[in-house]
């Protein structure tokens, strides 16, 4: 999101950021992971204070987690996952499909009669083929300081989107819209009669032992320790945006987690521990997306330089950018940077880091 921010800033010129990009790696870097470390260093060199890579076997870090103190990225640090939230929510919906409580090709209005989404189906919201406008388009140019403590209720976010006409008829093509996953979260709550936080805990987090992952409620603005600071670019400086009411993203992007937890989730998902075979197959049925890659139901498919197939998602939310992918054979890697929005070069270098980590195994 591109935003202007007339508020107190933390000085962080490009030159200072470059100076702070010194590598700070764990013992793994000295035992055969130098190419991966070099790839991670390019993420910082491209313009983010710090970055961390977590695989199922080791972690690496680069740059700083706190521009004020110069402290490094903390090991096992918590961060805001952005749209890496979406696979978690898609799993909840698909579990309900497997239990016969939801039909993938039924209209969303069967479960949310007041949604006003017409013929849009459950499958189409999970796959971003609904044609629904993205509610974030209504807040993208808002001064972020007005969003920091604002928060939102799901119905309010949906109302932002529904003020606008559909982008295209349902199913006609692919277009990423965060509105889809607000609807998915509302659907989970309506069908189960419980909060999405309760369903996440009962169905995914506790069974997998993901103790560092949760979806914040309104008013919960702080990250648990340890965590890096998250920064928002504003002209020639960076603003500390760590404290933030992320219910403005809710089930489209509000999750707080760690690299270890994301890797365990993706590995369990692809290993068949969260979904029945029929629902996992549906999740992996893809359509072409506008970037030339493929998208299933809350899960993207990526082919890396080693020619192997990986599944996962990227995430961007004010202060944090994330990329996480895994394979059915147990390999998984998550890289996060403590700045967002970031440049295309940062995104490209994050992908290169994931590629270097996963293809080296």
What are the domain boundaries of the chain? 24-63+76-359
Distance CA 51, CA 320 (A): 10
- Nearest Cα neighbor of 46 from 348, 324, 357 is 348
In 3-state terms the chain splits into helix, strand, coil percentages (rounded to 5) of 40, 15, 45
Residue-wise DSSP of 132-182: PPPGGGGTTTS-HHHHHTT---HHHHHHHHHTS--SSSTTSS----THHHH
Q: What is the pLDDT of residues 78-101, one digit of tens each?
A: 999 999 999 999 999 999 999 999
Q: Which two tokens stand for residue 325?
A: 């992918």
Active site residue 195: no
Active-site hit among 13, 59, 62, 83: 83
Average pLDDT over residues 128-142: 90
pLDDT at 17 over 50: no
Kindly give, in sequence order, each residue whose CB lies less than 8 Å from that of residue 140, ignoring residues fewer than 6 positions away: 1, 2, 3
138-148 pLDDT, tens digit per residue, is 887 778 888 89
What is d(CA 316, CA 322) in angstroms, rounded to the nearest whole number?
Answer: 6
> Could you tell me which residues come within 8 angstroms of residue 206 by beta carbon, excluding any fewer than 6 positions away?
none
For residues 240 and 233, what is the distance between their CA atoms, to the nearest angstrom?
9
Structure tokens at 38: 């070099």
Q: At what angle do helices 259-270 and 85-98 cross, to 10 degrees?
A: 30
What are the tens digits of pLDDT across the range 293-313?
899 999 999 999 999 999 999
Q: Is the preceding peptide bond at 341 cis, omega within 30 degrees of 0?
A: yes
Task: Calculate the dihedral angle through the C-alpha atoms of 257, 258, 264, 266, rounding to the nearest 10 degrees.
Answer: 60
The pLDDT value given to residue 31:
53
- Of 358, 361, 310, nearest in space to 335 by CA: 358
Burial zone of 34 (CB within 10 Å; 0-12 exposed, 13-18 middle, 19+ buried): middle
CA terminus-to-terminus distance, the chain: 34
How would you label 270-300 residue by residue, b for 16+ Cβ within 10 Å and e otherwise? beeebbeeebbebbbebeebeeeebbbbbbb
* pLDDT class of 360 with cuts at 50, 70, 90: confident
State the average pLDDT over residues 37-64: 97
Give the separation between CA 114 and CA 130, rounded to whole angstroms. Answer: 17
pTM as predicted: 0.92
pLDDT at 16 over 50: no
Which whole number is the average pLDDT over 110-136? 97
Residues 282-291 have a mean pLDDT of 90
Q: What was the pLDDT predicted at 22?
A: 36
**Which CATH number describes the domain made up of 24-63+76-359?**
3.40.710.10
């Amino acid at each position: 999101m591109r935003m202007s921010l007339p508020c107190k800033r933390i000085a962080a010129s490009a030159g200072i950021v470059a100076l702070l990009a010194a590598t700070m790696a764990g013992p793994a870097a000295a035992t055969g992971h130098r190419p991966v470390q070099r790839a991670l260093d390019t993420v910082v060199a491209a313009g983010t204070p710090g970055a961390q890579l977590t695989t199922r076997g080791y972690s690496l870090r680069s740059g700083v987690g706190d521009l004020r103190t110069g402290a490094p990225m903390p090991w096992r640090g918590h961060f805001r996952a952005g749209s890496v939230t979406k696979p978690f929510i898609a799993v909840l919906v698909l579990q309900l499909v497997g239990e016969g409580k939801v039909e993938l090709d039924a209209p969303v209005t069967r479960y949310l009669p007041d949604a006003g989404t017409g013929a849009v189906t459950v499958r189409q919201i999970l796959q971003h083929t609904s044609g629904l406008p993205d509610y974030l388009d209504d807040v993208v140019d808002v001064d972020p300081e007005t969003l920091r403590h604002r928060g939102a209720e799901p119905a309010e976010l949906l109302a932002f989107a529904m003020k606008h006409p559909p982008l295209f008829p349902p199913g006609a093509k692919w277009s990423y819209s965060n509105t889809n996953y607000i609807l998915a979260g509302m659907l989970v709550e309506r069908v189960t009669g419980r909060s999405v936080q309760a369903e996440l805990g009962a169905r995914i987090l506790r069974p997998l032992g993901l103790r560092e992952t949760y979806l914040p409620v309104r008013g919960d603005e702080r990250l648990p320790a340890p965590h890096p600071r998250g920064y928002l670019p504003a002209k020639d400086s960076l603003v500390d945006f760590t404290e933030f009411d992320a219910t403005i993203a809710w089930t489209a992007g509000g999750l707080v987690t760690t690299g270890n937890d994301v890797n365990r989730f993706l590995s369990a998902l692809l290993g068949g521990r969260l979904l029945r075979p029929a629902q996992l197959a549906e999740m992996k049925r893809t359509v072409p997306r506008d970037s030339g890659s493929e998208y299933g139901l809350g899960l993207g498919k990526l082919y890396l330089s080693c020619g192997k197939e990986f599944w996962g998602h990227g995430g961007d939310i004010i202060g944090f950018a994330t990329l996480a992918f895994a394979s059915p054979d147990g390999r998984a890697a998550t890289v996060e940077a403590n700045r967002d929005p970031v440049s295309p070069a940062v995104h490209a270098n994050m992908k290169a880091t994931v590629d270097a980590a996963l293809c080296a195994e």
